[in-house]
Structure 1
Amino acid sequence: MKKFFAWFLCMGSLATYAQQQEVIISAKLDKSHNDTVVHLYEPYSGEVDSARIKDHKFSFKMPITKGGSVYIMQIGNRPELGGTLVYLEPGKMNITGKGAYFNDAAFTGDAWVKEWQEVMDITAPDKGDGKRLTELESKYHAAVQIGDEDAATKYVTEANVLEKKRNDMLLKWLKGHPNSGVAGYVLTVYFNRNKQTMDSLYQQLGEHAKASRILMRYKFPGKVDAPPMTIKADTGAVASGPLASLKVGDMAPAFSIPDVDGKMVSLSDFKGKYVFLDFWASWCGPCKAQVPFLKAANDKFKDKNFVMIGISLDSKKEGWVKGIAKHELSWLNLSSLKGWGESAAAAYGIGYLPSNVLIGPDGKVVARDLYDGKIEEKLDATIR
């Protein structure tokens, strides 16, 4: 009897543990269309579940075994109408609304549901400062497409002020919710530009926050989930396939890219030389700050078995050509005008701009991501 009782307790514990590892979602949208399929999927890993609307209701019971993460919930096949982002972890979420979709619906349930709604209110793209940021992004892209750098800079300057205001609000939220699983979303989406800042904020979080699937991916890349398969750029272009992981000592990938006149230029054309690849774009603000250092390095080494090549991730020739002229980039300039769809960017593992790669005469990578005075310093130490 004692053995049976112990076994019964053990089974009860396992049942409780299993229950704790799933999320239960109950939804009632008064005007939702019956028999419509609702999809719920984790965009990073591709895990997906589905439900069908009956009596204007639908529900999910999904295992959450790797910690909390952000999912897309989609009613039907029109994302602009029926899609919403939701943070999920083990527990309960209730959705109620008088319409057919999620706009104006109420999300209630466990504490993490409320926390997610708080962050969504701070970052909402359709009201207040968020709406203005959306407008500025649209104006910025329009300026980029016609090569109007002055207008683009103006929009970026205003956007930076609004982004700082928003990020200050998010920092205050993080301070008040150090153990929320939603903190992982805040860190990786809004503070990912500065690794030092991210690491500092990460250290201030509690164990539950750190155990989220989002932060486990951040801390242990490639261990929890495979890397994402696409990258979306500021220009709207998309690069398919994973970025290469190119290290110092690896052979530099071959490429063949048109110059401004349409002539194809290949890496093999410069066999036996030091080649400095500068990945940039006319719409890239930080790229401009590197121009004086690139000019100094090129002037000093261009006659010493060295060639500098700019590879632009522009998508419009007008903007690219204007950028070359405005900044007087005298070195060889190449671009397929595919934005982040440039295959060389993926081959060289370029996930941000500006970025650069120094290749030796033997075709192997000598250095990566040299900035400011480090460019000339490295070339001084390498080229004799």
Structure 2
Amino acid sequence: MYSSKFILICFGSLLFSASFNMLIPELPSYLASLGGAEYIGLIIALFTLTAGLSRPFSGRLTDTIGRRPVLIFGALVCLICGFFYPLLTTVYGFLLLRLFHGFSTGFTPTAASTFVSDVVPHQRLGEAMGIHGIAFSTGMAIGPAMGSFIKLHHSYEVLFHSSSLMAFLALLLMVNLKETLPQKQAFRWALLKISKSDIIAVEAMPASIVNFLAYTSLGVILTLIPDWTVAVGFANKGVFFIVFTVSSLVVRIIAGKISDRYGRSKVIMVGLVLLIIALTSIGYFNTKLGLLVGAGLYGFGMGVVTPAIHAWTIDLSQPGQKGKAMATMYISLEAGIGLAALISGWYYKEDVLRITHALYGCAILALMGMIYIVLWNRRLHH
């Protein structure tokens, strides 16, 4: 049985994830209404930029001052940003806020994954990461669907304030968590001085490289799928995200358990194959059914890959440096999402047919991830 700490962090992560994800389907239209349609690629890219840049700091703070303060800081950022979106009504004001909003995912997920690894037995780590991933992904599913529903029936202002409400509820849960770091330090500004050795956990790089190659596809999905969804005939831009996340939920616990028993790399390989099939299908079958089937396969792929990569990262980490290893893995995730969002947004130029090219490109990168794992395993056994 899992502890109350584990259950609380899962619910906190669900609400936190819903808070920022509920904005994603409507932000391209909102930015266009401000006169910034050409900056669509920056919506995700700026968010992931600060998330990535803040990871070395969140990783170090997670390993020094504790998991709980880092969790709380990220949720507070989401809470504050929801109130500022309706106030900053210029294109540059909006983009500046997206930059600041990224600190939320730079901090909370690093501490949350590390917290999970503290409160579960290591032999059940893959399974636990799968369950925690289900919670986070449920937020990814209900968030966009709720966001589109709120915007259809109310206004952007109500949508932004709803995002803040979700963050506030997450904050309430996280404040009630007990610290799991055995020997925590008091915060001091010197802890924010980062050396080269603090930025990257070299030992976690194999998992991070594969993570980067897998998550580029999510950058394209987050940036371009809302427009693709409308192009194939759906009114609610959150449809893809619902199907993608529900299918991801179905497979996560099973995939995590299998990775505990048979090894991380075998499970990750299966997930990458599913991603390749999904991305190719979405691009090739440009119909409602094609989108739904592709979304389902994409969810299966990400549901298999993610908990195995998280557990692999902890496996590779050095004693007392789990936060640093998780931060490295998340830096690769943000780099993949951010670069893909930026490049695909720039390439798109509101030509729907170009979305297929971006999807095929991501399938090739997933294939490169498979090749890397094969080469890494060969080196490991020689």
**Does the pair score TM above 0.5?**
no
Report the structure, 1 or 2, having the larger helix content. 2
Report the structure, 1 or 2, having the larger strand content. 1
**RCO higher in structure (CA 8 A, sep ≥6):** 2
